[in-house]
């Protein structure tokens, strides 16, 4: 059976890895890619998605431009990690132009695609959740028509990577994350920041993955080098530091969407987002004591099949 997937990205290197993973699975139909602010400005995000689709020979997949700023507050970016352009600042004189973007906006596209495929679409969100928050405000019935929502974002132990207690995607638009976690009452699966750190792959695997003799592998090595040089290569011996192993945060959410058996263990808890704390704004709140009295609960990934993840990665660059 074909799995229909819609992806919302702020295309940095790990978003690119997740997209390429999905494109390599024969029974996955990527219905479209919507773009939003985050790792870089939304114009760069759009360019980056088109670059990824070009190297994969899949420029026929529609790409939609979305929101350029969060609902409230200041815009963040992750240029220190992903490069200022989001893809490692690797030159690409033959990159596709923005004229290839669809005229339709991202929110409209999300609503239309889900309505055209009721109960069939898995929505994978690997970015700040601004597009999704605005879409549900335009169409409050949207979530009930989704097959599932897969999010990379938030945290389960209040350990941040952008603020003291905030993970980047949620910290970049706390209000949007709050709206999505409280109004998307569909099956929801979350790959949190700390979970991805605990589920890293060996560097030796990353070396083998990038060493494949294909144009896709050479492309990935070019765009990934900035992150390897700036962060991973230090390999400092600290808890929850990415340098201890290869992590592609967004790929965990994508793998869960395209392989139903990928998640081995999860917590089923109500969640929300802190909006007003001095040090905890943007932190995901996990309701272990059931004090929120919410009937809708999310599946928070705890353990996944890393062998399957490795195979998905290897296939993505073949």
* Residues tagged active-site: 10
Specify whether the CB–CB gap between 246 and 201 falls below 8 A.
Answer: yes
CB 17 within 8 A of CB 250: yes
121-125 and 63-65: which strand pairing? unpaired
Element (H, E) at 9: strand 3-9
Whether the Cβ atoms of residue 114 and residue 147 lie closer than 8 Å to each other? no
Burial class (CB in 10 A: 0-12, 13-18, 19+), 135: buried
- Return the structure tokens found at 256: 């869960």
* Beta strands at 121-125 and 3-9: parallel, antiparallel or unpaired: parallel
C-alpha 162/C-alpha 172 separation (Å) is 9
Q: CB neighbours (10 Å) of residue 6?
A: 23
Residue 149, beta-bridge partner list: 123, 188
Euclidean distance between CA atoms 94 and 100, whole angstroms = 14
Q: Which residues lie across from 171 on neighbouring strands?
A: none
């Amino acid at each position: 059976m074909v799995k229909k997937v819609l992806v919302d990205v702020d295309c940095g290197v790990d978003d690119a890895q997740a997209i390429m993973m999905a494109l390599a699975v024969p029974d996955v139909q990527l219905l479209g890619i919507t773009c939003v602010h985050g790792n870089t400005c939304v114009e760069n995000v759009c360019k980056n998605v088109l670059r990824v689709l070009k190297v994969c020979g899949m420029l026929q997949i529609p790409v939609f431009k979305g929101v350029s700023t969060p609902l409230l507050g200041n815009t963040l970016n992750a240029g220190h990690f992903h490069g200022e352009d989001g893809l490692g600042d690797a030159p690409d004189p033959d990159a596709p132009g923005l004229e290839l973007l669809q005229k339709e906006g991202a929110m409209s596209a999300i609503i239309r695609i889900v309505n055209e495929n009721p109960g069939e679409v898995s929505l994978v969100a690997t970015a700040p959740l601004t597009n999704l928050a605005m879409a549900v405000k335009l169409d409050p019935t949207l979530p009930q028509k989704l097959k599932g929502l897969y999010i990379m974002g938030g945290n389960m132990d209040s350990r941040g990577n952008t603020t003291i207690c905030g993970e980047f995607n949620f910290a970049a638009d706390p209000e949007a994350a709050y709206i999505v976690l409280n109004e998307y009452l569909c099956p929801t699966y979350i790959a949190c920041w700390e979970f991805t750190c605990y589920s890293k792959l060996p560097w030796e695997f990353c070396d083998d993955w990038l060493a494949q003799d294909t144009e896709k592998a050479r492309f990935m090595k070019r765009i990934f080098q900035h992150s390897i040089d700036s962060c991973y290569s230090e390999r400092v011996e600290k808890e929850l530091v990415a340098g201890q192993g290869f992590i592609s945060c967004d790929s965990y959410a994508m793998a869960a969407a395209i392989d139903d058996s990928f998640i081995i263990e999860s917590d089923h808890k109500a969640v929300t987002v802190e909006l007003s704390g001095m040090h905890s704004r943007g932190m995901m709140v996990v309701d272990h004591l059931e004090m929120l009295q919410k009937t809708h609960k999310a599946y928070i990934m705890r353990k996944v099949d890393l062998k399957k993840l490795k195979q998905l990665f290897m296939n993505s660059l073949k």
